[in-house]
Amino acid sequence: MTAAPGSAPAPAPGSSPAPSPSPDVLAAFEAAKGFMPAHEGRALYAAAVEAGGLGLPLLEVGTYCGRSTVLLADAARRAGVTALTVDHHRGSEEQQPGWDYHDPETVDPELGVMDTLPTFRRTLHRAGLEEHVVALVGRSPQVAAVWNSPLGLVFIDGGHTDEHANADYEGWAPHVADGGLLVIHDVFPDPADEFTGQAPYRVYLRALASGAFTEVSATDSLRVLRRSGTGLRGRGGSR
């Protein structure tokens, strides 16, 4: 059964509670620049820990400054796998100068363009998680085009235009292994949220309509889907 938006699913009777990050990891998450609230972060962490049980890498699209990467990295450490994170580090549309989500501290003073890579590296170093993460610096479609291995989890948290959200889905969803998880952030069904979350919402609907994924949980704007069908296979996308 799918939880109602705004809540996490209650554990089934007799089941173990969802895994949670340690206080140190949660503190590193909350100290990092970024926009994901803690309750959504806990839901992401639980999904990543579960997916890590497949023994496959966990991949994130949209690194920014590493806030959610901290959670994926700790889940990867716990499972003995690797966390991968993909970003060009020049900022998405809403993070550019003049927009609400722009942070002047992320601008390279010499080049005058955004560069979140140094901040991301500091985030991982402070959290003690550098050795558990591989940063793939480049544009998501270009990296996806040369990727050919199955993944235990794909977390889509990149650009919020239809062009970028669909490219992330098309590039990476095919690589989710059988039983693996597709997690989509900033899913807002309300048309009033056209700029901030309607493109991820449309990708979420597309994933469900594909027949390849079944919804597991909803925690506010975070959706967790499991690969339960054979559609959308990519190179190395099954196991």
Q: Based on the number of CB atoms within 10 Å of its own CB, is 233 exposed (0-12), middle (13-18) or buried (19 or more)?
A: middle
Alpha carbon 102 to chain centroid, angstroms: 20
User: Is 160 a residue of the active site?
Assistant: yes
Q: CB of 3 within 8 A of CB of 39? A: no
The catalytic position among 88, 89, 160, 185 is: 160
Measured CA to CA, the distance from residue 218 to residue 63 in angstroms comes to: 21
Measured CA to CA, the distance from residue 2 to residue 204 in angstroms comes to: 14
> Could you give the residue numbers annotated as active site?
160
